[in-house]
Chains A and B, each alone.
Chain A
Protein backbone atom coordinates (compact mmCIF):
# COMPACT_ATOMS: atom_id res chain seq x y z
CA UNK A 1 0.00 0.00 0.00
CA UNK A 2 1.57 3.36 -0.99
CA UNK A 3 -0.27 5.14 1.83
CA UNK A 4 1.71 5.20 5.07
CA UNK A 5 -0.12 5.82 8.35
CA UNK A 6 2.08 7.82 10.69
CA UNK A 7 0.14 7.20 13.88
CA UNK A 8 3.32 6.01 15.64
CA UNK A 9 5.12 9.28 14.89
CA UNK A 10 2.21 11.36 16.15
CA UNK A 11 1.89 9.18 19.26
CA UNK A 12 5.58 9.78 20.02
CA UNK A 13 5.24 13.52 19.41
CA UNK A 14 2.21 13.74 21.71
CA UNK A 15 3.78 11.31 24.22
CA UNK A 16 0.61 9.26 24.23
CA UNK A 17 0.26 5.48 24.54
CA UNK A 18 -1.56 3.27 22.01
CA UNK A 19 -4.07 2.17 24.61
CA UNK A 20 -4.90 5.76 25.53
CA UNK A 21 -5.38 6.68 21.85
CA UNK A 22 -7.54 3.63 21.18
CA UNK A 23 -9.73 4.55 24.14
CA UNK A 24 -10.03 8.21 23.06
CA UNK A 25 -10.83 7.30 19.44
CA UNK A 26 -13.19 4.48 20.39
CA UNK A 27 -11.51 1.66 18.47
CA UNK A 28 -9.97 -1.55 19.74
CA UNK A 29 -6.20 -1.90 20.26
CA UNK A 30 -6.26 -4.65 17.62
CA UNK A 31 -7.72 -2.26 15.04
CA UNK A 32 -5.22 0.44 16.01
CA UNK A 33 -2.46 -2.11 15.50
CA UNK A 34 -3.84 -2.95 12.00
CA UNK A 35 -3.73 0.78 11.24
CA UNK A 36 -0.18 1.21 12.57
CA UNK A 37 1.23 -1.81 10.74
CA UNK A 38 -0.22 -0.70 7.41
CA UNK A 39 -2.51 -3.71 7.05
CA UNK A 40 -5.66 -1.55 6.91
CA UNK A 41 -7.40 -1.38 3.52
CA UNK A 42 -9.39 1.77 4.30
CA UNK A 43 -9.98 4.36 7.02
CA UNK A 44 -13.45 5.78 7.72
CA UNK A 45 -13.73 9.59 7.84
CA UNK A 46 -15.27 9.23 11.32
CA UNK A 47 -12.18 7.30 12.53
CA UNK A 48 -9.83 9.78 10.84
CA UNK A 49 -11.57 12.76 12.42
CA UNK A 50 -11.52 11.04 15.83
CA UNK A 51 -7.78 10.38 15.42
CA UNK A 52 -7.14 14.00 14.43
CA UNK A 53 -9.17 15.21 17.40
CA UNK A 54 -7.37 12.91 19.85
CA UNK A 55 -3.91 13.72 18.51
CA UNK A 56 -4.70 17.38 17.82
CA UNK A 57 -3.38 17.22 14.25
CA UNK A 58 -4.46 17.33 10.59
CA UNK A 59 -5.19 14.28 8.35
CA UNK A 60 -2.04 15.14 6.40
CA UNK A 61 0.03 14.64 9.56
CA UNK A 62 -1.27 11.08 9.83
CA UNK A 63 -1.29 10.00 6.19
CA UNK A 64 1.62 10.02 3.77
CA UNK A 65 1.80 8.94 0.12
CA UNK A 66 4.91 7.03 -0.97
CA UNK A 67 5.00 6.42 -4.75
CA UNK A 68 6.30 3.09 -6.07
CA UNK A 69 5.19 1.08 -3.08
CA UNK A 70 2.22 -0.58 -4.86
CA UNK A 71 0.31 -3.40 -3.28
CA UNK A 72 -0.20 -6.57 -5.37
CA UNK A 73 -3.80 -6.80 -4.20
CA UNK A 74 -4.61 -3.37 -5.62
CA UNK A 75 -4.06 -4.62 -9.16
CA UNK A 76 -6.61 -7.47 -8.82
Chain B
Protein backbone atom coordinates (compact mmCIF):
# COMPACT_ATOMS: atom_id res chain seq x y z
CA UNK B 1 0.00 0.00 0.00
CA UNK B 2 2.85 2.36 0.90
CA UNK B 3 4.59 1.57 -2.40
CA UNK B 4 1.37 2.26 -4.29
CA UNK B 5 0.78 5.61 -2.60
CA UNK B 6 4.39 6.71 -3.28
CA UNK B 7 3.94 5.66 -6.92
CA UNK B 8 0.64 7.58 -7.15
CA UNK B 9 2.29 10.64 -5.63
CA UNK B 10 5.09 10.46 -8.19
CA UNK B 11 2.58 10.21 -11.05
CA UNK B 12 0.59 13.10 -9.61
CA UNK B 13 3.76 15.20 -9.30
CA UNK B 14 4.60 14.45 -12.93
CA UNK B 15 1.10 15.45 -14.02
CA UNK B 16 1.28 18.66 -11.94
CA UNK B 17 4.66 19.56 -13.51
CA UNK B 18 3.39 19.02 -17.08
CA UNK B 19 -0.02 20.68 -16.64
CA UNK B 20 1.35 23.43 -14.40
CA UNK B 21 4.12 24.40 -16.84
CA UNK B 22 1.61 24.38 -19.71
CA UNK B 23 -0.82 26.57 -17.78
CA UNK B 24 1.98 28.93 -16.69
CA UNK B 25 3.20 29.27 -20.28
CA UNK B 26 -0.32 30.16 -21.47
CA UNK B 27 -0.87 32.64 -18.61
CA UNK B 28 2.54 34.28 -19.23
CA UNK B 29 1.90 34.64 -23.00
CA UNK B 30 -1.60 35.98 -22.26
CA UNK B 31 -0.30 38.46 -19.65
CA UNK B 32 2.45 39.80 -21.95
CA UNK B 33 -0.09 39.89 -24.80
CA UNK B 34 -2.32 42.32 -22.89
CA UNK B 35 0.49 44.89 -23.11
CA UNK B 36 1.89 44.08 -26.57
CA UNK B 37 -1.35 43.27 -28.39
CA UNK B 38 -0.51 39.65 -29.35
CA UNK B 39 -2.69 37.56 -29.16
CA UNK B 40 -5.15 39.97 -27.49
CA UNK B 41 -4.62 43.55 -26.30
CA UNK B 42 -6.24 44.84 -23.14
CA UNK B 43 -8.88 47.57 -23.37
CA UNK B 44 -7.44 50.20 -21.04
CA UNK B 45 -9.98 52.34 -19.17
CA UNK B 46 -8.91 55.74 -17.80
CA UNK B 47 -8.88 55.66 -14.00
CA UNK B 48 -9.03 51.85 -13.98
CA UNK B 49 -5.66 51.15 -15.58
CA UNK B 50 -3.92 50.60 -12.25
CA UNK B 51 -6.48 47.98 -11.27
CA UNK B 52 -6.31 46.34 -14.70
CA UNK B 53 -2.51 46.07 -14.55
CA UNK B 54 -2.73 44.76 -10.95
CA UNK B 55 -5.15 42.02 -12.03
CA UNK B 56 -2.81 40.88 -14.83
CA UNK B 57 0.31 40.90 -12.62
CA UNK B 58 -1.38 39.36 -9.56
CA UNK B 59 -2.83 36.54 -11.66
CA UNK B 60 0.63 35.76 -13.05
CA UNK B 61 2.36 35.95 -9.64
CA UNK B 62 -0.46 34.00 -7.95
CA UNK B 63 -0.30 31.24 -10.56
CA UNK B 64 3.47 30.90 -10.18
CA UNK B 65 3.10 30.83 -6.37
CA UNK B 66 0.33 28.19 -6.50
CA UNK B 67 2.40 26.04 -8.84
CA UNK B 68 5.53 26.33 -6.66
CA UNK B 69 3.65 25.61 -3.42
CA UNK B 70 1.86 22.61 -4.92
CA UNK B 71 5.14 21.21 -6.24
CA UNK B 72 6.86 21.76 -2.86
CA UNK B 73 3.94 20.01 -1.13
CA UNK B 74 4.21 17.00 -3.42
CA UNK B 75 8.02 16.79 -3.21
CA UNK B 76 7.87 17.09 0.60
CA UNK B 77 5.28 14.31 0.74
CA UNK B 78 7.36 11.98 -1.44
CA UNK B 79 10.53 12.74 0.57
CA UNK B 80 8.71 12.25 3.88
CA UNK B 81 7.15 8.95 2.80
CA UNK B 82 10.60 7.63 1.94
CA UNK B 83 11.78 8.44 5.47
CA UNK B 84 8.68 6.86 7.05
CA UNK B 85 6.80 10.06 7.97
CA UNK B 86 3.27 10.31 6.60
CA UNK B 87 2.52 13.95 7.39
CA UNK B 88 5.50 16.35 7.33
CA UNK B 89 4.94 19.48 9.46
CA UNK B 90 6.22 21.94 6.82
CA UNK B 91 3.34 20.96 4.51
CA UNK B 92 0.83 22.67 6.85
CA UNK B 93 2.25 26.12 6.10
CA UNK B 94 2.38 25.30 2.39
CA UNK B 95 -1.33 24.40 2.42
CA UNK B 96 -2.29 27.68 4.13
CA UNK B 97 -0.09 29.54 1.62
CA UNK B 98 -1.79 27.64 -1.20
CA UNK B 99 -5.21 28.69 0.13
CA UNK B 100 -4.17 32.37 0.18
CA UNK B 101 -2.50 32.34 -3.24
CA UNK B 102 -5.35 30.36 -4.83
CA UNK B 103 -7.81 33.00 -3.53
CA UNK B 104 -5.81 35.80 -5.19
CA UNK B 105 -5.33 33.82 -8.42
CA UNK B 106 -8.99 32.80 -8.68
CA UNK B 107 -10.17 36.31 -7.83
CA UNK B 108 -7.99 37.74 -10.62
CA UNK B 109 -9.00 34.98 -13.07
CA UNK B 110 -12.68 35.60 -12.35
CA UNK B 111 -12.22 39.31 -13.00
CA UNK B 112 -10.17 39.15 -16.21
CA UNK B 113 -13.13 40.73 -18.05
CA UNK B 114 -12.14 44.01 -16.32
CA UNK B 115 -8.92 43.90 -18.35
CA UNK B 116 -11.06 43.68 -21.49
CA UNK B 117 -12.98 46.84 -20.60
CA UNK B 118 -15.83 45.79 -18.31
CA UNK B 119 -16.30 47.84 -15.12
CA UNK B 120 -17.79 45.12 -12.92
CA UNK B 121 -16.05 43.30 -10.06
CA UNK B 122 -17.26 39.72 -9.50
CA UNK B 123 -16.83 37.40 -6.51
CA UNK B 124 -18.14 33.96 -7.39
CA UNK B 125 -18.61 30.60 -5.69
CA UNK B 126 -15.24 29.19 -6.84
CA UNK B 127 -13.20 32.19 -5.63
CA UNK B 128 -14.57 31.74 -2.11
CA UNK B 129 -15.03 28.03 -1.68
CA UNK B 130 -11.83 26.62 -3.20
CA UNK B 131 -9.58 28.55 -0.71
CA UNK B 132 -11.96 27.66 2.16
CA UNK B 133 -11.79 23.96 1.24
CA UNK B 134 -7.97 24.14 1.06
CA UNK B 135 -7.98 25.84 4.52
CA UNK B 136 -10.16 23.03 5.93
CA UNK B 137 -7.79 20.44 4.44
CA UNK B 138 -4.85 22.36 5.99
CA UNK B 139 -6.51 22.30 9.45
CA UNK B 140 -7.21 18.57 9.17
CA UNK B 141 -3.63 18.05 7.94
CA UNK B 142 -2.34 19.97 10.99
CA UNK B 143 -4.27 17.61 13.29
CA UNK B 144 -2.91 14.64 11.36
CA UNK B 145 0.63 15.97 11.88
CA UNK B 146 0.04 16.22 15.66
CA UNK B 147 -1.44 12.71 15.85
CA UNK B 148 1.42 11.36 13.74
CA UNK B 149 4.05 13.04 15.95
CA UNK B 150 2.36 11.71 19.11
CA UNK B 151 2.20 8.27 17.59
CA UNK B 152 5.94 8.33 16.92
CA UNK B 153 6.45 9.14 20.62
CA UNK B 154 4.40 6.15 21.76
CA UNK B 155 6.73 3.51 23.09
Measured CB to CB, the residues of A under 8 A from B are 27, 31-32, 34-35, 39-44, 47, 76
Whether a CB of chain A sits under 8 angstroms from the CB of B120 is no
* Alpha-carbon gap, A43 to B151, bound state (A): 10
Residue in B146, B150, B153 with the greatest tally of chain A CB atoms within 10 Å: B153
Is the interface on chain B under 10, 10 to 19, 20 to 34, or 35 or more residues? Answer: under 10
A24 to chain B, nearest CB (A): 14
**Across-interface contacts of B26 in A (CB, < 8 A):** none
Q: 23 A-B Cβ contacts within 8 A?
A: A27-B155, A31-B155, A32-B155, A34-B153, A34-B155, A35-B155, A39-B153, A40-B153, A40-B154, A40-B155, A41-B150, A41-B153, A41-B154, A42-B150, A42-B153, A42-B154, A42-B155, A43-B154, A43-B155, A44-B154, A44-B155, A47-B155, A76-B146
